[in-house]
Structure 1
Amino acid sequence: MAAMDYSLTAGGKRLRPALTLGVSELLGSEITPAVLKAACAVELIHTYSLIHDDLPAMDNDDLRRGKPTNHKKFGAGMATLAGDGLLTLAFSWLSENELPELVRLRLIQALAKAAGPAGMVAGQARDIAGEGHHLTLDQLRKLHAEKTGALLAYSAVAGGIIAGASEDIIDILRAFGKAYGLAFQIKDDLLDVTATEAQVGKEVHRDAEAHKNTYPGLLGVEGAKQALQVALNDAKAARDALATQLAVNPVILDEFLGYFED
């Protein structure tokens, strides 16, 4: 389906599958074709969410990664179907590979929870419902934990599931992913205020125009930067906790944290 391929191959950081692969390799898992396929399933979910997020009924954006958004290229109906197709294909990729059955089941359950009404979908719903209303800091943190943090937490946890990590390690990975996800969303909020369209590949200043709740909107730019540092400190604490549990230094997590260095 051309509309699915258009958004999936439009570029992007591939941050989520990269995190899964990095964690699984750190914990001793070999990157086989089955592992790669399972790790990339989360990118299908992420891409579907961007397509739907850009639709006229939601953010009504014209640009994504420097190109016309899916609905601008193919129309709203086809864009909706492209997102639906990527969502369902993700679970095919998790179930139809050669990973052990229990691993596949755990990944399916974890991704369904992270992407569904207990995770990303809930965050998107809070985002829409909150437009025009002033959320508290706790409410905004909850929104971001679901909207952005859930998939990033899944991505870290998925690497542990693939590698057969202990529940203690899984818990640390989840904490890292949640903190990293919050930091990622705060930075995204800041970029909407401080960056140019050319730098981010999409229209800027859209959050304020749409009366969305953001960290800069609630705390100001400097307050948002301080909140970003707190989230990064939490991520680094989880990274350090993981280091105490492993025989190797989790330097791969430092590479992901490097995204936030100016």
Structure 2
Amino acid sequence: MLTSDRIELALESAVHRAGDAGSPPLLASALHYAVFPGGHRIRPNLCIAVAAACGAPFPRETYAAAAAVELLHCASLVHDDLPSFDNADTRRGKPSVHAQFGEPIAVLTGDALIVLAFETLAREVAPSRLAPAIAIVAGAVGAPGGIVAGQAWECEAAVPLADYQRAKTGALFVGATMSGAASAGVDPEPWRMLGDKIGEAYQVADDLRDVLCTAEELGKPIGQDAARTRPNAAAQLGIAGAKSRLETLVAAASASIPDCPGRAALCKAIELQTRALFPRQLTQVAA
């Protein structure tokens, strides 16, 4: 079975459990709507790639970790789109969850997805490895440096770009790389830097897309950072400066991969994946 198919199967299994008989029908529908069809599934694929590079002796735990990371990502998108934050009516080319189901169900959907991520780990990870697995994921989602903190930075009058990007986007990439390593039975800490660099690269690329792409290309509203006076790498560094920063981060990500059996293959995969983040419009911009 292809990796992508196994990711979808793990997610389907988790969402099906949450929306099983007895679940409020609207909530069950919203949970499935929020997760499927997905985006590029970058974070779960990264989790699995790291585990594979380390040997991946516990595949069920690896796919559980990958699913947990993606469920947290989906939860963050649901909450991010709420009227109290971005008030975005579209996501992934279709109405956002709050636009489709209403704000109360959207809030509960995001909350339920967060809980479901931890439940997925609890079901699949061996007891001897469960506490570290939960600690990694909790660090990626909570305070002081997880995606909740990243969202909270938007409520502050002054927002440091590095702190905001590290929490809003980087934390879940760190969670993906460290979860992949932990699920393979190796020390996850050396994998923190890889997630941090890829996460920052992804955010810089997203900032560039917000400036260079159309809403139709992105499947979501554009210009949100400028409209809400949020930090944006393209706005602070200029298009050329942000492109240069993105190039630096891509190189740093590859260089940060720890020694492992599959380092060469992972390095190549990371290079291809991060290059794919570059908006096509950047070909016309000199660094």
Residues 165, 200 of structure 2: 8 Å contact kept:
yes
| 2:204 corresponds to which of 186, 199, 208 | 186
Hey, what does 1:171 align to over in structure 2?
Answer: 189
Matched, 1:140 2:161: yes
C-alpha distance in structure 2 between counterparts of 1:235 and 1:176, whole Å: 5
Indicate the SS of the match to 1:55.
coil
Matched, 1:114 2:140: yes
Matched, 1:13 2:47: no
Indicate the SS of the match to 1:129.
coil
State the Cα distance separating 1:83 from its structure 2 match: 0.5
What pairs up with 1:1-262 in 2 under 5 angstroms? 1-30=28-57, 32-97=59-124, 99-118=125-144, 119-130=146-157, 133=158, 135=159, 139-166=160-187, 170-239=188-257, 242=258, 245-261=259-275, 262=278
**Paired residue total:** 248
State the Cα distance separating 1:31 from its structure 2 match: 6.0
Task: Report sequence identity in percent.
Answer: 35
Residues 25, 31 of structure 1: 8 Å contact kept:
no
User: Which stretches in structure 2 are left out of the alignment for 5+ residues?
Assistant: 1-27, 279-287
C-alpha distance in structure 2 between counterparts of 1:203 and 1:116, whole Å: 26
CA RMSD of aligned residues (A): 1.6
State the Cα distance separating 1:17 from its structure 2 match: 1.2
C-alpha distance in structure 2 between counterparts of 1:31 and 1:165, whole Å: 11
State the Cα distance separating 1:210 from its structure 2 match: 1.8
C-alpha distance in structure 2 between counterparts of 1:171 and 1:87, whole Å: 23
1:219-255 per-position Cα deviation (integer Å, ceiling 9, x unaligned) = 111111122122222212203xx2xx23443423432
Hey, what does 2:5 align to over in structure 1?
Answer: none
State the Cα distance separating 1:213 from its structure 2 match: 1.3
Change (3 A) 1:56 1:247: closer
Hey, what does 2:19 align to over in structure 1?
Answer: none
Deviates more, 1:182-191 or 1:7-16: 7-16
1:177-203 per-position Cα deviation (integer Å, ceiling 9, x unaligned) = 001100000000000000122221111
State the Cα distance separating 1:19 from its structure 2 match: 1.1
Change (3 A) 1:250 1:40: farther
Q: TM (normalized to structure 1)?
A: 0.89
Indicate the SS of the match to 2:104.
helix
Deviates more, 1:119-128 or 1:40-49: 119-128
C-alpha distance in structure 2 between counterparts of 1:230 and 1:158, whole Å: 25
Residues 21, 31 of structure 1: 8 Å contact kept:
no
